[in-house]
Amino acid sequence: MVGAMQLGVIGMGRIGRSHAAVLDANPAVDRVLVASRSRASADKAAADLGLEAVDLESLVDSVDAVVIASSTDSHPELIERAIVAGKPTFCEKPIALDIEPTERIVALVDTEGGRLQIGFHRRFDPGYAAARQLVISGGLGTPYVVRTISHDPVPSPESFIPTSGGIFRDFLIHDFDIVDHVLGEPITAVFATAAVREHRVYAKYDDYDVAAVQARTASGALVTMSCTRHDPRGHDVRMELFGSRDSVVVGWDDRTPMRSLEPDGRRLPADPYEDFLDRFRAG
């Protein structure tokens, strides 16, 4: 195929494997190379997916563009390597665990004239896109209150927790991003709290299994966020928007893992969303 691309995926965990499989199925992609900090992990993923594994050090120079899906602590180094090499780069959120390396990478991308996209998938979900258009068109009216819900179905494996960045930087970062994106204005004031309610392994790494946020945007809209690492009914990610002209919800459909306690209320769906890959597949 004329102009076909060769792409590299770094990190062969669940999301890295998913990216590699999706890219390999794209007719515009000629070849997908995979790499990982562990060559054994890359070799295993390559064998499972029918792809080619290479050493991490050689991947960037061997492809036209790079996808980074490795652990968060490795993001700054890998982004820098790809941008300096002149490769368009997609990286899973966040850019880094702290402000200083984040600002350094942003400055590097500007200096190099690089192309970097961070993986905030909710922006591309049809429901969130419709909510953004409702706000832009004025259909919502003056935004009064926004409520986001982010509940994972099962706790993280312990190996993931130390390098994840914690519940705010790893999970609630999606909520902060989507509120800014949908409303078109930044959050300017925040009160946040978190706790370990059930899964003590998070406390071992100064992390939490539940969190709640109260916030206010630049124009004064009020925001509430709830986040849990465990939802016994499934993966539940929603946004509710209340304004002067409309009240709407994103993420409420036949598979939303909630049941009503009202006598004639909604029963639990037979096939609730299993995880984020299942929930956002359509986007």
CB atoms within 10 A of CB 2: 3
**pLDDT higher than 70, residue 68:** yes
Q: Which residues of 124-140 are buried (b: 16+ CB within 10 A; e: fewer)?
A: ebebbbebbebbeeeeb
Return mean pLDDT, the chain.
94
List of residues 6+ apart from 106 with CB closer than 8 A: 95
- pLDDT value at residue 3: 58
CB 241 within 8 A of CB 247: yes
- pLDDT value at residue 109: 97
pLDDT tens-digit series, residues 151-210: 999 999 999 999 899 999 999 999 999 999 999 999 999 999 999 999 999 999 999 999
- pLDDT value at residue 279: 84
- Bigger pLDDT: 282 or 206? 206
Q: Crossing angle of helices 14-24/39-49, nearest 10°? A: 40
245-254, 257-266, 274-283: which has the minimum mean pLDDT? 274-283
Q: Distance (Å, rounded) from C-alpha 166 to C-alpha 181?
A: 22
**Which one-letter DSSP state was computed for residue 269?**
P
- pLDDT value at residue 274: 87
- pLDDT value at residue 283: 59
HSE at residue 35, side-chain half, CA atoms within 13 A, is 19
